[in-house]
Amino acid sequence: MILFLLPGQVVGAAEEVPAKFAGGSGTADDPYLIASAQQLARVNDYLSAHFKLIADIDLNVAPYNTGQGWKPIGSGDEPFAGSFDGNGRTIRGLYINRPAEDDIGLFAALGEDATLRGIRLEDVRVKGKDRVGGLVGCNNWGEIENCYASGSMAGASSVGGLVGENSGDIANSSSAC
């Protein structure tokens, strides 16, 4: 980097910009590492990438626990198509209040190439219209393995503790909702 200074100018330390993720490059061999609620929310910007949770996350903080709450990852039109390894970590306090919207959950929808593993959700409060689940609103041929959700769900139709509507594979997973 080359800097040019004019006489009388003062140069201060450059402001540090926080990393989008805690590490990784988003590939299957080097997934993006997630250590905060802000980093988890950024998954929405990389729907085909690979992710790994490296810390427990509390979503029971503003802006995620007020108004409409959490914005689900992906959508029915643009489902999550990457992989997400919960790494045995816990996401607590997921709050979603979108009673007029479909495909509601931590993930709105999964595409056929999506894989979710080892995600543990505790104390979720999720409200949507159709296809409402704690983890996934609508699973369109994705794979879910070793996942768990506890809390409460509400919706008009296709409501489940873990997944609202499922056309994919779910193994060794459960819900206490």
- Bigger pLDDT: 12 vs 21: 21
Q: Where are the alpha helices (DSSP H) in 17-146?
A: 37-41
**Tens digits of per-residue pLDDT, 85-119?**
999 999 999 999 999 999 999 999 999 999 999 99
3-state helix, strand, coil in the chain (%, to 5): 5, 40, 55
> What are the sequence ranges of the domains in the chain?
32-176
Average pLDDT rounded to a whole number, residues 137-164: 97
Residues 6+ apart with CB under 8 A from 140: 79, 109, 110, 111, 112, 167, 168
Average pLDDT rounded to a whole number, residues 137-163: 97
Average pLDDT rounded to a whole number, residues 154-169: 97
Residue 9's pLDDT is 44
pTM here?
Answer: 0.89
Residue 10's pLDDT is 43
> Quick check: bond before 31 cis, omega within 30?
no
Q: Across the chain, what does the average pLDDT equal?
A: 92
pLDDT-derived band at 177 (thresholds 50, 70, 90) equals confident
Average pLDDT rounded to a whole number, residues 66-81: 98
